[in-house]
Amino acid sequence: MSGFKEVDFGMPSPKQRVHTPPDSPDKTTRPKDSPLDTKKDSLGENRGSIRHRRLGSWGNMVPIETSPGSHNTIEVPALRSPDADTSPYMHNLSLSPSMRERRVSRNSFGAALPIPKSKRQSRLSSVTFPGIQDVLKRPGMPPIQPTREILASQVQDVYAEKVKAAKNMAFVFDIDGVLVHGDRLIPEGKRVLDMLNGDNQLGIRIPHIFLTNGSGKPELARTEQLSKILQNPISTEQFIQSHTPMRALAEYYNTVLVVGGEGTRCREVAEQYGFKDIIVPNDIVAWDPSIAPYRVFTEEERAAARPRDFSKINIDAIMVFSDSRDYATDMQIIVDLLRSENGRLGTIAKDPVSQRIPIYFSQGDMLCPTEHPIPRMSQGAFRIGLEAMYKALTGVELERVVYGKPELATYKYADEVIASWMDILHGEERVPENVYMIGDNPASDIIGGNMYGWNTCLVRTGVFQGGENDPENPASFGVFANVWEAVTAACRKELGDDFVFKWDDKGVNPVLHDSAAASAIEV
């Protein structure tokens, strides 16, 4: 290691310094030209005080708080290592996820990633109006149809053009920052879903799906949680998490390391996706605690781990399913594997490129809105740190694949889900012509929707808190105060300014009219 001399820090050499005995702390003498001269400078400031030092002649100082009995103190300049500039280590996607500079990451628009094509099992009961799931059935006869559905059918017959337009539009919602903040409901989110689920002039269900970069739970658990928060039924058939399309990777890899999420939830997700041999970081730490020297491994974590001799196992791929809960441990294990020979822990590859195993990230968001007033770091921040670390250690770029918004694979998969959901709702398996993406993050929701040809709406209830529109990735349809303002503006455009965002039982039900001559379709 190279050594440093005091003159490198702008300090006087030993020959220039004269120290008085320890019993005379206040009478230390220095040459008149010493940088620590106690005389007043040109600004009239006394520069002899260590505790109140301003900028010295040799640049920024790191002040050392001293006690009255301390005599031999110096100040060290705050130097900036050339390695601190991580920009040379970043992929273009990480540096500038902007429409102004077209991204050329490994899986940027135009590249092919596997997405699942097989349909999931339908759960029609989750999209019916509350209270009619258990419709009474009569032996040998059709089920009793609720009055509201009869009336809605009659209204839709009259307003056939509006119905056609309603079936030719769809909404794609981001969740965090648009409909909820963590586990806390954004009130306009419930109001919007009420309207789209039939509480509107036509009594019609307007197609909508949920596309989130959130992750870490099985889809069913997450939809059940959201259904309670939003007080509206949400089906797994209309729900896409960032790692949902990654189920297709189960056909390509046998033994995988799955990273992120709370506890063992991501292992459960991977098992549901069909991955055969799933390893999580805790399994590796339980096998060899020295691999993560700063980790405090609890007995509960040890009990849930599945250790084995990983020095005899080749890991085929790394899957970052969700945000890391322990950056130090997860980064250490991932870097060890990326530098290993074909995924064998305890080895270092001679060629860091040809012997490197692939790594997949479920999403690339730098920030995520939570209950905290300032958005928190998300998986994208973890990935960027990992990229910089890998480049610093190996000298080569880390090739990686990113799913989630704004990557193309996620939008291709969204088309599949929208078409399937249209089939469930209206018996028409197709993607409507007018798709509106409602999001709060310009760098994922808006850039992805714009590049895929959707109408994009930016709301101010999450990450975006800027001016009239985002200068880098402007929303094509506009910026709105909240999700209700965005959805109603889109509906007025497609369905007309006279469209009413409320179902009126009294207006369409002749039984509730004062006049017996009132029509069942009067609105």
Q: Region 336-360: what's the mean pLDDT?
A: 92
pTM: 0.66
What is the pLDDT at residue 145? 52
Percent of all residues in the chain with a pLDDT value above 90, rounded to a whole number: 45
Same domain, 222 and 359: no
Q: Residue 133 falls within a domain, yes or no?
A: no
Provide the 10 A C-beta neighbour count for residue 193.
24
For residue 413, the 8-state DSSP code is: H
Give dist(CA 338, CA 336) in Å, integer: 6
What is the pLDDT at residue 405? 85
Same domain, 391 and 324: yes
Same domain, 369 and 462: no
What is the pLDDT at residue 71? 53
Q: Which two tokens stand for residue 342?
A: 């074909």
Q: Point out the least confidently predicted range of 144-158, 358-372, 388-402, 420-434.
A: 144-158
What is the pLDDT at residue 443? 85
Nearest-CA neighbor of 272 among 351, 330, 317, 218?
218
Same domain, 153 and 222: yes
At 386-410, the pLDDT tens digits run 999 999 999 888 888 888 888 888 8
The count of domains in the chain is: 3
Q: Residue 453 falls within a domain, yes or no?
A: yes
Q: Residue 25 falls within a domain, yes or no?
A: yes
What is the pLDDT at residue 372? 85
Q: Residue 141 falls within a domain, yes or no?
A: no
**CATH number of the domain within which 325 lies:** 3.40.50.1000
Helix, strand or coil for residue 402?
strand
Give dist(CA 332, CA 290) in Å, integer: 11
Question: To which residue do tokens 């040379």 refer?
Answer: 88
Q: Region 100-104: what's the mean pLDDT?
A: 40
Give whichever of 54-68, 260-274, 289-303, 487-501 has the largest mean pLDDT: 487-501
Q: Point out the least confidently predicted range of 57-66, 257-266, 430-439.
A: 57-66
Q: Region 339-343: what's the mean pLDDT?
A: 94
pLDDT classification of 473: cutoffs 50, 70, 90: very high
Same domain, 249 and 383: yes
Residue 54 has pLDDT above 70, yes or no: no
Same domain, 249 and 238: no
Residue 517 has pLDDT above 50, yes or no: no
- The range of the structural domain enclosing residue 458 comes to 146-242+408-512
Give dist(CA 254, CA 237) in Å, integer: 27
| Domain end (from 380, 402, 424) | 402
Q: Region 246-259: what's the mean pLDDT?
A: 92
- With 0-12 / 13-18 / 19 or more C-beta atoms within 10 angstroms meaning exposed / middle / buried, residue 37 is middle
* Between residues 93 and 457, the one the model is more confident about: 457
Q: Region 139-145: what's the mean pLDDT?
A: 56
Q: Region 492-513: what's the mean pLDDT?
A: 79
Give dist(CA 424, CA 239) in Å, integer: 14
pLDDT classification of 418: cutoffs 50, 70, 90: very high
DSSP 192-260: HHHHHTT-STT-----EEEE-S--SS-HHHHHHHHHHHHTS---GGGEE-TTGGGGGGGGT-SEEEEE-
Same domain, 394 and 265: yes
CB-based burial, 197-213: b 16+ in 10 Å, e otherwise: bbebbbbbbbbbbbbbb
Residue 300 has pLDDT above 80, yes or no: yes
Answer yes or no: are the C-beta atoms of 372 and 331 closer than 8 Å.
Answer: no
Same domain, 317 and 300: yes
Q: Residue 333 falls within a domain, yes or no?
A: yes
The separation between the first and the last C-alpha atoms of the chain, rounded to the nearest angstrom, is 84
Give dist(CA 420, CA 476) in Å, integer: 26
* Between residues 353 and 40, the one the model is more confident about: 353
The 3-class secondary structure across 319-375, one letter per residue, is: EECCCCCCHHHHHHHHHHHHCCECCECCCCCCCCCCCCCCEEECCCCCEECCCCCCC
| Domain end (from 375, 402, 429) | 402
Residue 23 has pLDDT above 80, yes or no: no
| Domain end (from 402, 431, 447) | 402
At 184-231, the pLDDT tens digits run 999 999 999 999 999 998 989 999 999 988 777 888 989 999 999 999
What is the pLDDT at residue 128? 37
Could you give the C-alpha distances from 445 to 62, 242, 486, in angstroms and in order?
Answer: 43, 12, 14
Identity at 440, one-letter amino acid code: D
Answer yes or no: are the C-beta atoms of 173 and 438 closer than 8 Å.
Answer: yes
What is the pLDDT at residue 406? 85
Residue 21 has pLDDT above 90, yes or no: no
What is the pLDDT at residue 289? 92
What is the pLDDT at residue 68? 53
Q: Residue 129 falls within a domain, yes or no?
A: no
- With 0-12 / 13-18 / 19 or more C-beta atoms within 10 angstroms meaning exposed / middle / buried, residue 457 is buried
Helix, strand or coil for residue 287?
helix
Q: Residue 126 falls within a domain, yes or no?
A: no
Same domain, 395 and 294: yes
What proportions of the chain, in percent to the nearest 5, are helix, strand and coil?
Answer: 35, 10, 55
Same domain, 270 and 224: no
Answer yes or no: are the C-beta atoms of 466 and 450 closer than 8 Å.
Answer: no
Helix, strand or coil for residue 91?
coil
* Between residues 435 and 523, the one the model is more confident about: 435
Helix (H) / strand (E) element for 435: namely strand 434-439
Q: Name 459's bridge partners.
A: 480
* Between residues 513 and 438, the one the model is more confident about: 438
Give dist(CA 130, CA 475) in Å, integer: 35
Residue 72 has pLDDT above 70, yes or no: no
Give dist(CA 3, CA 10) in Å, integer: 15
CB-based burial, 146-178: b 16+ in 10 Å, e otherwise: eebeebbeebbeebeebbebbbbbbbbbbbbbb
Q: Residue 292 falls within a domain, yes or no?
A: yes
Q: Which residues contact 252 (CB under 8 A, 6 or more apart)?
A: 114, 317
Residue 131 has pLDDT above 50, yes or no: no
Same domain, 322 and 466: no
Same domain, 53 and 102: no
